[in-house]
A = this chain, B = another copy of it.
Amino acid sequence: MIEKLCKILSNNQVAPDTYLIRFSSPEIASEAVPGQFVMLRINEGFDPSLRRPFSICGVEGEDVVKILYKVVGKGTKGLTYKDAGDSISVLGPLGKGFSTPDPLKENFLVAGGIGIAPLLFLYQKNKSAKIHFLSGFRTSGEIIDPGTAGFDAEHMIATDDGSAGYDGRVTGLLAEKLEQYKPDDTCVYTCGPHPMLKAVRDECLKNNVPCQVSMETFMACGLGACQGCVVKSDLTAVKTPYLHVCKEGPVFDMNNIDWESK
Measured CA separation A78–B47 after assembly (Å): 13
Chain A 61-101 against B: per-residue CB contact (8 Å), 1 yes, 0 no? Answer: 00000000000001001100100000000000000000000
Residue of B46, B49, B74 touching A44 (CB-CB under 8 A)? B74
Chain A 23-50 residues near chain B, CB threshold 8 A: 43-49
Contacts of A47 in B (CB 8 A): 45-47, 49
Contacts of A46 in B (CB 8 A): 47
- The residue among A47, A49, A74 with the most chain B CB atoms within 10 A of its own CB is A47
Which chain B residue shows the least CB distance to A74? B45
- A62 → B minimal CB distance (Å): 31
Measured CA separation A44–B43 after assembly (Å): 12
Contacts of A81 in B (CB 8 A): 81
Which chain B residue shows the least CB distance to A81? B81
Measured CA separation A206–B49 after assembly (Å): 53
Chain A 182-224 against B: per-residue CB contact (8 Å), 1 yes, 0 no? Answer: 0000000000000000000000000000000000000000000
- A47 → B minimal CB distance (Å): 4
**Cβ contact within 8 Å between B44 and A45:** no
Contacts of A74 in B (CB 8 A): 44-45
- A42 → B minimal CB distance (Å): 9
Measured CA separation A77–B49 after assembly (Å): 17
Chain A 121-163 residues near chain B, CB threshold 8 A: none
What are the 7 A-B residue pairs with the smallest beta carbon separation, nearest first? A45-B47, A47-B47, A46-B47, A45-B74, A45-B45, A45-B48, A44-B74
Pull 6 A–B residue pairs with CB atoms less than 8 Å apart, ordered by A.
A43-B45, A44-B74, A44-B77, A45-B45, A45-B74, A47-B49
